[in-house]
Amino acid sequence: MKILSLITVVFVGAALIYGTLDMPKWGDPHSPASTHVSPYYLRHSLHDAATPNVVTTVLADYRGYDTLGETAVVFTAGMACILLLRAGRKRRGKGHV
Amino acid sequence: MILPLDLILLLFVFICAIAAITVRDLLSAVVILGAYSFFMCLLWTQMAAVDVAFTEASVSAGIGTVLMIGAVSKTKRRSKD
Amino acid sequence: MFEFIVSHYNYWMYIALMMVGFYAMMAKRNLVKKIIGMNIFQSAIILFYISTSVKRGATVPILEHAHEGHGAVAHAAHAVDVMQYANPLPHVLMLTAIVVMVATLGVALAVAIMIYKRYHTLEEDEIMMSIRRG
């Protein structure tokens, strides 16, 4: 099992390294990720939200629904934890009775 | 972004990752994972992502470690591999 | 060649880190070790995304000279030098991903605790033997 997973890991790693050969250079200011929509956020965030921290502006103003969805995910995870742990407690209690 | 600092931090992160999955004592593995998270946080500060860095330091290295220590203390501490 | 290695070595380090987590998820039999591997894997992916936001010579994406009166604010809206600040968009997306990562960790640990309560072990092979025995 260990040998098999080691072989799988080596193959997946080689495939991913083959994929990185086309990536833009690390720290390139003209990479596609840095030139598409983020200049808009950097230019307009102070005018639109009057907040100097651009990350906060994008998180709470431009992409507020994203953060709302994240809150829903965290709430669901918390509910799942509570339900799982309480179900175990109740079953053990019934076993004692 | 500083190249030698980036290399050293990447090396530390890698060593911490290897150590966290090879140590047999689960509590040590969890604490090494906390150190891994803090090195990751330094790496992100070095990449000018301060918001991500302090979220990682508080959420992943803080709450994550606490959750894992709680889970290990409720179950067994010894691991076979 | 040397320049290519210098500009790509950290992608390879992230892949190595990711593969460490992947190996732990597949080969380790202890459930907490598997969860640690999942954590390492997710951190490596987040590291990869953050690394796409790096610009050479750029600083933290917090605008300078923002609090110099309202007239300056309206004027500064078009005077921001984009190359001076790191790309804020991957930071935002990965901020969400870190919180989701911890939520996943919590649910996974709760499931592991439930498995321990039922089978009194965390080793995967012992759990499988116990299931086969009935």
Residue A53, beta-bridge partner list: C62
Query: How sure is the predictor about B20, in pLDDT bands with cuts at 50, 70 and 90?
Result: very high
Domain ranges of chain B: 24-75
Q: Specify the pLDDT at position A26.
A: 85
Hey, are the CB atoms on A6 and C23 less than 8 Å from each other?
yes
Mean pLDDT across A79-93 = 77
Residue B20 CA, chain-centre distance (Å), reads 8
> Do the Cβ atoms of C87 and A38 come within 8 Å?
yes
Q: Which pLDDT belongs to residue A97?
A: 42
User: Which stretches of chain C drop beneath a pLDDT of 50?
Assistant: none
Measured between CA atoms, the residue of chain B closest to residue A57 is B51
Count the residues in chain C.
Answer: 134
What's the confidence (pLDDT) of residue C1?
82
- What pLDDT, on a 0 to 100 scale, did the predictor assign at position C69? 58
Token couple for C63:
């605008």
Q: Using one digit for the tens of pLDDT, what is the confidence trace for A33-75?
A: 888 888 888 888 888 888 888 999 999 889 999 999 999 999 9
Q: Is the ipTM of this complex over 0.90?
A: yes
Taking each helix axis as running N to C, give the angle between helix C88-119 and helix B65-74, from 0 to 180 degrees, rounded to the nearest 10: 10
What are chain C's domains? 2-52+87-133 (1.10.287.3510)
Distance CA B74, CA B61 (A): 20
**Which residues of chain C does B43 touch, with a Cβ-Cβ cutoff of 8 Å?**
47
Model confidence at B40, pLDDT cuts 50, 70, 90, reads very high
What's the mean pLDDT when you consider all of chain B?
91
